[in-house]
Amino acid sequence: MEHSEQHMYDVVDALVRAGNRFRPAQRRWGTDPFWPTKSAQECYLEASIDFAVAKAVPGQPSELVLDEGNDLIFCALCFTAITGPAYRAETVWDHTR
Ligand SMILES: [Zn+2]
């Protein structure tokens, strides 16, 4: 079955409606919540992810990883990630892991 990252936009929309904000990426046609990175596309949220809101978004694939301990949502089908500040703090500053 065809898979697009549209479902990740639905998750971001729900989180923004619940009060979160993302760092807008400059794209050729305006702004977009997802920044292209080497391995994936990533949405940088300003506040921690509300997982109750994320889980309530309909139409999500079983490949969607809701990693509450790491403040991370990742789709293994379209390699798209939504990260909260706790996730980024660990990846940037904790070099011992
Ligand atoms: Zn996906």
pLDDT 10s per residue in the chain (97 long)? 689 999 999 999 999 999 999 999 988 888 899 998 888 899 999 999 999 999 999 999 999 999 999 999 999 999 999 999 999 887 655 455 4
Residue 96 Cα to ligand 1 midpoint, Å, equals 30
Residue 34 Cα to ligand 1 midpoint, Å, equals 13
Q: Please report, for the chain, the start and end positions of each structural domain, with discontinuous segments joined by +.
A: 6-93
DSSP the chain: ----THHHHHHHHHHHHTT--B-PEEETTEEES-EE-SSSEEEEBSS---HHHHHT-SS--TTEEEEGGGTEEEETTTTEEEE-HHHHHHHHH-TT-
Residue 61 Cα to ligand 1 midpoint, Å, equals 7
Q: How many residues does the chain have?
A: 97
Residue 81 Cα to ligand 1 midpoint, Å, equals 9
